[in-house]
Amino acid sequence: MPPPRPLRADARRNREALLAAARETFLAGDDAHVEEIARRAGVAVGTLYRHFETREALVAEVYRQEVAQLCEAPARLLAQHPPDEALRAFLLLLVEHAAVGRGLGEVLESIMTTDSPIFDDTRNDMARTLDELIGAGTAAGLIRSGVNGRVVLRALGGICGMRANGWQDDAVTIATILYDGLRYGAPNRI
């Protein structure tokens, strides 16, 4: 099958406007009907459906973009900080991501009932990103060995899944404890 043709400039602008409007709508917790998203993007509903077959496909793409942006952070963090501090900063970014995910919560539930591989794909992407950071920290002797990104992601999933008031402050505190545990026993930890 030949690769898809690139979008024309106007079609690309419309798609980007739809994604931006959808993200804004979902994060604000506003009524997220396709008609409202199309109106905010300044396009017709038919244009939305030309780019995204279903509302769930639009939600999945917004979420995929959020995770892709998150997974780009380690290169920057590793260039700016020692590996253990880059890992700490990323753990805090994951807590922020969970807050964004809460804004998308109801909307994401709509794609949980589909066969969308979005959650598997994004979990794998985040685990690989954590593996990269943990590996850099382990190689520098600043992070203990024997821990992988999937385990850390599961721990953070439990932390960020809290529903109580003040959950985000608690999640930051617990992520810091998790970070301290990842450093405990590392050979070069001072």
Residues in the chain: 190
Q: Which CATH number fits domain 55-183: 1.10.8.60, 3.10.129.10, 1.10.10.10, 1.10.357.10?
A: 1.10.357.10
Residue scoring higher pLDDT (126 or 96): 126
Using alpha carbons, select from 21, 36, 18, 26 the residue that is nearest to residue 106.
Answer: 26
Count Cβ neighbours within 10 Å for each residue of 73-86 and write b for 16 or more, e otherwise: bbeebbeeeebbeb
pLDDT at 111 over 60: no
Where exactly are the structural domains of the chain? Answer: 1-52, 55-183
Model's pTM, two decimal places? 0.75
- Side chain identity, residue 74: P
Query: Helices 83-103 and 118-139 sit at what angle, rounded to 10 degrees?
Result: 160
CB 83 within 8 Å of CB 139: yes
Q: Which residues, in sequence order, are CB contacts of 22 under 8 Å at separation 6+?
A: 32, 37, 41, 58, 59, 62
User: Quick one: tokens of 182?
Assistant: 């990842």
Supply the DSSP symbol for 31: -
Architecture of domain 1-52: Orthogonal Bundle (1.10)
Lowest mean pLDDT among 20-24, 30-34, 97-101: 97-101
Give dist(CA 90, CA 7) in Å, integer. 34
Helix axis angle for 83-103 and 105-112, nearest 10°, is 80
Give SS3 for 162. Answer: coil
> Mind listing the pLDDT tens digit for each residue in 122-142?
888 989 999 999 999 999 999
